[in-house]
């Protein structure tokens, strides 16, 4: 944190108390409500909207934060998703296979998102992708073809969507 170290310590303590107290069912309902509101107010622009699509980065973040907010054990505040996921595994809240799966999907989505950002292009569907950008995306994901990459992306997002549904609830696509 930047600024007064004493104030930063106080804010950190308040945040950690909030994380480690409260009603898990209410927090789950609040998270699901927030996801539904985001879906209505800022819907996905297509399958290459890596942040907002169902099963995208936002849902992965919600899954991770939900696990922290509903834990029965003390969880420290971790702003970085990878560190938060590692903490969930280290405290026994996530099995090693779930941690590995979520970390690998995060790595894939983040790598693809970084290529999109470097290209400075808004990408919502495959038609928005130039041949050169498709090639860069494939290399970032270690895929030999764009079809292979598309399948890997769909599989990853389906896994996230299923995990979200299992842990938090169904993401309503109609309002």
Backbone φ and ψ for 166, nearest 5 degrees, come out as -65, -40
Give the range among 27-41, 54-68, 78-92, 125-139 with minimum mean pLDDT. 78-92
Report if residue 81 sits inside a domain.
yes
Report if residue 174 sits inside a domain.
no
Report if residue 151 sits inside a domain.
yes
For position 175, what pLDDT does the model report?
Answer: 47
For position 20, what pLDDT does the model report?
Answer: 58
Report if residue 175 sits inside a domain.
no
pLDDT interval class at 14 (50, 70, 90): low
Backbone φ and ψ for 54, nearest 5 degrees, come out as -60, 130
Report if residue 28 sits inside a domain.
yes
- Whether 37 and 31 have beta carbons less than 8 Å apart is answered as no
Structurally, how many domains does the chain consist of? 1
pTM: 0.83
Report if residue 172 sits inside a domain.
no
Query: pLDDT digits over 95-153, tens only?
Result: 999 999 999 999 999 999 999 988 876 777 888 889 999 999 999 999 999 999 999 99
Domain harbouring 63, CATH code: 1.20.120.330
Report if residue 68 sits inside a domain.
yes
Report if residue 173 sits inside a domain.
no
Domain membership of residue 80 as a residue range: 5-167
């Amino acid at each position: 944190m930047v600024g007064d170290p004493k104030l930063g310590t106080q804010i950190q303590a308040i945040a950690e108390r909030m994380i480690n107290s409260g009603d898990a069912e209410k927090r789950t309902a609040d998270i699901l409500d927030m996801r539904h509101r985001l879906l209505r107010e800022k819907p996905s622009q297509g399958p290459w909207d890596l942040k907002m699509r169902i099963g995208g980065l936002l849902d992965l973040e919600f899954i991770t934060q939900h696990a922290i907010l509903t834990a029965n054990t003390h969880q420290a505040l971790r702003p970085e998703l990878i560190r938060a996921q590692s903490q969930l595994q280290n405290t026994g809240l996530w099995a090693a296979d779930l941690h590995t799966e979520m970390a690998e999907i995060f790595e894939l989505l983040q790598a693809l998102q970084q290529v999109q950002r470097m290209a400075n292009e808004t990408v919502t569907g495959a038609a928005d992708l130039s041949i050169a950008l498709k090639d860069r995306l494939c290399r970032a994901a270690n895929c030999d073809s764009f079809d292979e990459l598309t399948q890997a992306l769909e599989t990853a997002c389906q896994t996230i969507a299923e995990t979200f549904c299992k842990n938090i609830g169904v993401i309503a696509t109609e309002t």
